[in-house]
């Protein structure tokens, strides 16, 4: 069974540019989460999808971040325009609908904004 995959693994962009991160969850997992770790800080929750619906987006830092999950399969996280403080590692995780909170994480996307 394939795990959670994320693309790209690394991205370097300039301040003011746009970047889109993609996450493919484990097949059949209705729950999809985005987290991020910025330099020297703890891993922080961003948002949670149940199928295509946003269940909890309380962790989204501001309106420069837009997450979508069309069709309830893969998800994208767009940052527009990127700022220096957006640099960090963005993780995606998925879990089954009725499987408690055992979340399976992807390898992350390392975003560097220069």
Partner 1 sequence: DAKTTQPPSMDCAEGRAANLPCNHSTISGNEYVYWYRQIHSQGPQYIIHGLKNNETNEMASLIITEDRKSSTLILPHATLRDTAVYYCIVIYYNQGGKLIFGQGTELSVKP
**Chain CA centroid to CA 77, Å:** 6
Helix (H/G/I), strand (E/B), else coil: 7: strand
**In whole angstroms, how close is the CB of 49 to partner 1 at the nearest point?**
10
Closer residue to partner 1 (CB): 1 or 102: 102
Query: At 84, phi and psi to the nearest 5?
Result: -55, -40
The answer to the question of residue 103 lying near partner 1 (CB under 8 A) is: yes
Compute the chain's Rg from CA coordinates.
13
Helix (H/G/I), strand (E/B), else coil: 70: helix
Sole binder of partner 1 in the list 18, 53, 55, 73 (CB under 8 A): 55
First-last CA distance in the chain: 37
**In whole angstroms, how close is the CB of 29 to partner 1 at the nearest point?**
10
The answer to the question of residue 7 lying near partner 1 (CB under 8 A) is: no
The answer to the question of residue 65 lying near partner 1 (CB under 8 A) is: no
**In whole angstroms, how close is the CB of 28 to partner 1 at the nearest point?**
14
Residue pair 9/110 in contact (Cβ under 8 Å)? The answer is yes
Write out the residues near partner 1 by the rule CB under 8 A. 4, 31, 33, 35, 42-45, 48, 50, 55-56, 58-59, 91, 93, 95, 97-98, 100-108
């Amino acid at each position: 069974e394939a795990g959670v995959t994320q693309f790209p693994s690394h991205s370097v962009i300039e301040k003011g540019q746009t970047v889109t991160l993609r996450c493919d969850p484990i097949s059949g997992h209705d729950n999809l989460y985005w987290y991020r770790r910025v330099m020297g800080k703890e891993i922080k929750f961003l948002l949670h999808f149940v199928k295509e619906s946003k269940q909890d987006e309380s962790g989204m830092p501001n309106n420069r971040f837009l997450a979508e999950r069309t069709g309830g399969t893969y998800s994208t996280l767009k940052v527009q325009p990127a700022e220096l403080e957006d640099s960090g590692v963005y993780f995606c995780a998925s879990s089954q609908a009725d499987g408690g909170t055992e979340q399976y994480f992807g390898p992350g996307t390392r975003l560097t904004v220069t």
